[in-house]
Amino acid sequence: MDFSLPRETQALLARFSDFLQREVYPLELAFLNQPFFSIEPELAKVRAHVKEAGLWAPQIPKAWGGMGLSLCDFALVSEVLGQSPLGHYLFGCQAPDAGNMEVLIRHGSDEQKERFLRPLARGEMRSCFAMTEPDTPGSNPTRLAARAVRDGDDYVIDAHKWFTSSADGAAFAVVMAVTDPKAPPHGRASMFIVPTDHPGYRRIRNIPLFGHAGEGYPSHSEVRFTACRVPATNRLGPEGAGFAIAQERLGPGRIHHCMRWIGICERSFQLMCQRATERKIGNTDDTETLANKQIIQAWIAEARAEIEAARLLVMRTAWRIDQAEHHGRDGFYDAQIDVSLIKFHVAGVMLRVVDRAVQVHGALGLTSDTVLSHFYSHERGARIYDGPDEVHKVAAARRLMKPRASH
C-alpha cells in the first residue's frame, strides 16, 4: 500500500498552493469586511489570472474548458482551495455551479449546453440550485411541495424555495418540482432550468445567517416561482428523473465538500499553531507562550490526528468511486456507506478544529481580522446541508446492518 502522491500530482498541488499564497490570501480581508459586489471586479481579475495559469475549473472535462482531473486528484486540489473562502470561487469550481455543470454535462440537451453550460463553465455567469423548501423536510426530496404542471409545450411551475445558494446575481436556477404526484416517491419530481429574468421568478430576500445576509455569490436566498411558465425544452433529463439526478449530483458534491472542509481544517490548524507560538502569556517571563500550556498542546495533537484520519477516509472513498467507475460500475452507488460516513465525520472534525482555533485566538478569533470567524459562522451548516448528520448516520447504520438482518 503506497500513500505517496505521484510527482505530477505533487507539482500540480504546489501550483495551486503557490497561486493562493500570491493572489488569493491578500484578498481575504477585503472579502471578509466589504460587500461582495464591491470587490467583484478585483475577483474577476484574479479569475482571469487563474485561466491564464491553466488552473481553471479543475473538476470538469477539458472539452468544456476545465482541467479534466480525476475525482481523487480534484479531491486533493479541493483541499488546497478550501484553505481560503475564496478558493473554489476564484478557480471556477464553487458550489452550486460545479454541481450544475456536472448535471448539464450528463443530462443537458445540446441546446441547454450551448445556452447555459458553456457560459457557466467559462465563468461568464453564475447559477443557483433550488430544491430546499421552508415547509417540507429538506433531507427528504421525495416530499417536495413544488409543482410543475404540463401545459402543451410548456410547464407551469409554482414553488416556494429557500436556502437557494448564490441566487443573488445568478443568471439561471435549476429547480426541482413534482411533475407527477401519483408516481412512486422517487419518480415524482423533475428538474428545470429557469432563467432568473423570467416572468414568475422572484428572489424575495437573502436569508441572514447568524445575523448577516450577505450578497452575491456567498449568500443564500428565499425565492418564489409563481405561475412561472417555461418551455418543456428547459426540462433536464426525462420527466420524473429529478430525484435520481439530484442524488447523482450530490455524490461528487459530498466528496468536494469534505475535502474543502479538510482544507478549512488545515488553515485553522496553521493559524492555531501560529497563534499559540506567538501569544505571550507570562507576567515576567517573555518567553512563555500559549504553546507552553499542556491543554493547548493536547488540542494541537488531537487536531492533527483527526485531520489526518479524516483525509484518509475521504481519499479512500474517492479512490473507491474512481475504481468502480473505471470498471463500468456506478461508483457512488458502490460507495453509499462511505459517502455517508465522510459526510458526518468530516463535518464534525472541521467544526471541532475551527472551534479550538477560535479559542486559542481568544477575542481575536471572533473578529473579521482573521478568517476563523467566517469559517465558524458559515460552516456550521455543514452538519445540516446535503443531509443532516442524523440522516447519514441512520442511512449508514441501516446499510451496515442489512447483511446481518438477512441471517
- Inter-CA distances, 210 with 128, 220, 351, 374, 380, Å: 22, 12, 16, 11, 10
* Size (the chain), residues: 407
- Cell 432550468 sits on residue: 193
Per-residue cell: 65: 474548458
- The dihedrals phi and psi of 277, each to the nearest 5 degrees, come to -80, -20
Q: How far apart are CA 368 and CA 163, in angstroms?
A: 24
- Digit-coded pLDDT (tens) for 194-223: 999 999 999 999 999 988 999 999 999 999
pTM value? 0.93
Q: How far apart are CA 178 and CA 266, in angstroms?
A: 41
Buried b (16+ CB within 10 A) or exposed e, 25-51: eebbeebbeeebeebeeebeebbeebe
What sign does the dihedral 308-309-314-315 (CA atoms) show? positive
Q: 347 burial class (0-12, 13-18, 19+ CB within 10 angstroms)?
A: buried
- Cell 448577516 sits on residue: 212
- Cell 449568500 sits on residue: 219
- Digit-coded pLDDT (tens) for 36-93: 999 999 999 999 999 999 999 999 999 999 999 998 999 999 999 999 999 999 999 9
SS3 269: helix
- Digit-coded pLDDT (tens) for 265-302: 999 999 999 999 999 987 766 789 999 999 999 999 99
- Digit-coded pLDDT (tens) for 147-171: 999 999 999 999 999 999 999 999 9
Q: Could you say which DSSP state residue 366 is in?
A: G
Q: How far apart are CA 382 and CA 392, in angstroms?
A: 12
Q: How far apart are CA 292 and CA 279, in angstroms?
A: 10
Kindly list the structural domains of the chain, giving each domain's residue range(s) and its CATH number in brackets, ordered by start.
Answer: 7-104 (1.10.540.10), 127-236 (2.40.110.10), 243-405 (1.20.140.10)
Mean of the per-residue pLDDT values for the chain? 94
Q: How far apart are CA 171 and CA 82, in angstroms?
A: 25
Q: How far apart are CA 11 and CA 221, in angstroms?
A: 39
- Digit-coded pLDDT (tens) for 310-355: 999 999 998 898 888 888 888 777 888 999 999 999 999 999 999 9
